[in-house]
Amino acid sequence: MHPSFLRVLQQKQRVKQKLSNIRQKIGVYSAKGGVGKTTIAINLAYALSKKGFKVGLLDADIDCPNVTMFLGIEEKKMEPVLPLKPLDINGVKVASTAMLVDELKRPIIWRGPIVTKMLGDFFENTEWGNLDYLILDLPPGSSDAPLTIMQVLELSGFIIVTNPQRIAGLNATRAGLMAKRMSAPVLGIVENMSNGEPSRSTKDVAEKLDTEIIGTIKREEKFANLGDNGKIPVLEDNEIAYIFNKIIEKLSG
Ligand SMILES: Nc1ncnc2c1ncn2[C@@H]1O[C@H](COP(=O)(O)OP(=O)(O)O)[C@@H](O)[C@H]1O
Ligand SMILES: [Mg+2]
């Protein structure tokens, strides 16, 4: 057996053990940046928490760990002791590599093998305890970082995010096909920055991935304003809470 293959298997086993008290691990994913993955991951996590579920939120986008900014907790750090403990932010357990790095403003430039090692170590050493849901804000693309996460974490399923444009749709399809190849189901598509009705392109994504559109979220200035000010939209705005509650209903079945 190739030594690196053995290492991945061993690490996978250790991470599995670590995450064995989490009922569902859901990745929010798209191959494209800027479509709203972080926004949707955060709002889903808080909508689930408001329903009474025990929820964790993992910022797995290590190049652009934006979760702490959206939550207005850029200054907060995890205690640098093992195991790492996610921070309780308004009832949701949150962990991000940004909570380990002091100089947030410095760009994080890591090559493939370091990314793989760093992510594996991070997952293996973070203690979540019992959770109903762990929501993962995944990095865009289909190279090292998202691939490592999918290999090591064995997600329960993916939510694929797209926007009405064809270019987003093409990348969403790519992301969904990759997720399927990693043997995790695509739970549904969310069209963000929507005009109201899902576009032709979004319907096409759902068809190609053999799944449903589980939500459409309109493009609205208030998302950007709340996000910029570290405010969680589902906790601030009833209309937004309603949209995410609908998505949760579709998720649970
Ligand atoms: N429905 C929406 N309407 C308006 N702005 C949005 C919406 N969803 C997200 N945004 C904004 O678009 C930008 C990109 O969203 P983000 O969640 O960071 O995307 P990603 O994580 O996919 O890169 C952010 O500034 C965010 O506040
Ligand atoms: Mg993001």
Distance 36 CA to ligand 1 centre (A): 4
Residue 244, token pair as written in the block: 């995410």
Beta carbon of 34 within 6 Å of any ligand 1 atom: yes
Of the listed ranges 27-31, 90-94, 101-105, 189-193, the least confidently predicted one is 101-105
pLDDT tens by residue, 225-244: 999 999 999 999 999 999 99
Distance 59 CA to ligand 2 centre (A): 9
Percent of the chain with pLDDT over 90: 64
Give the helix/strand (H/E) hosting 56: strand 55-59
Average pLDDT estimate for 110-124: 74
State the angle between helix axes of 238-252 and 37-50 in degrees (0 to 180), rounded to the nearest 10: 80
- Predicted confidence band at 146 (pLDDT cuts at 50, 70, 90)? confident
CA distances 204 to 38, 98, 170, 195, Å, are 23, 36, 9, 16
| pLDDT at position 253 | 66
Beta carbon of 9 within 6 Å of any ligand 1 atom: no
Query: Which is more confident, 100 or 21?
Result: 21
- Predicted confidence band at 110 (pLDDT cuts at 50, 70, 90)? low
pLDDT tens by residue, 148-166: 888 888 899 999 999 999 9
DSSP alpha helix (H) spans, the chain: 3-18, 37-50, 67-70, 112-124, 144-153, 166-181, 200-208, 221-228, 233-236, 238-252
Neighbours of ion ligand 2 (CB under 5 A): 37-38, 66
Q: What is the mean pLDDT of the chain?
A: 90
Task: Give yes or no for a contact between 138 and 146, defined as CB atoms under 8 angstroms apart.
Answer: yes
Beta carbon of 224 within 6 Å of any ligand 1 atom: yes
Distance 39 CA to ligand 1 centre (A): 6
Which numbered atom of ligand 1 lies nearest the CA of 30? 22
| pLDDT at position 238 | 96
| pLDDT at position 134 | 97
Distance 103 CA to ligand 2 centre (A): 19
Residue 121, token pair as written in the block: 């170590």
pLDDT tens by residue, 51-95: 999 999 999 988 888 999 999 998 898 888 889 999 999 999 999
- Helix then strand then coil, in percent of the chain rounded to 5, is 45, 20, 35
Asked whether the predicted pLDDT for residue 104 surpasses 60, the reply is no
Asked whether the predicted pLDDT for residue 105 surpasses 60, the reply is no
Which numbered atom of ligand 1 lies nearest the CA of 42? 17
Closest CA to 44 of 159, 155, 141, 191: 159
Task: Give yes or no for a contact between 120 and 152, defined as CB atoms under 8 angstroms apart.
Answer: yes
Query: Which is more confident, 109 or 25?
Result: 25
Task: Collapse the DSSP code of 183 into the 3-class scheme (helix H, G, I; strand E, B; otherwise coil) and give the result.
Answer: coil
Percent of the chain with pLDDT over 70: 94
Cα dihedral across residues 246, 217, 25, 185: positive or negative: positive
Indicate the fold that domain 3-252 takes in CATH: Rossmann fold (3.40.50)
Average pLDDT estimate for 110-132: 81
Task: Please state whether beta strands 87-89 and 92-96 pair in parallel, antiparallel, or not at all (unpaired).
Answer: antiparallel
Distance 70 CA to ligand 2 centre (A): 10
Beta carbon of 227 within 6 Å of any ligand 1 atom: yes
Q: Model's pTM, two decimal places?
A: 0.94
Which numbered atom of ligand 1 lies nearest the CA of 228? 27
Q: How many whole angstroms separate alpha carbon 77 and alpha carbon 96?
A: 9
Name the residue with the closest Cα to ligand 1, atom 25.
224
Query: How many CB atoms neighbour CB 46 within 10 A?
Result: 24
Residue 13, token pair as written in the block: 């086993």
Asked whether the predicted pLDDT for residue 203 surpasses 60, the reply is yes
Beta carbon of 74 within 6 Å of any ligand 1 atom: no
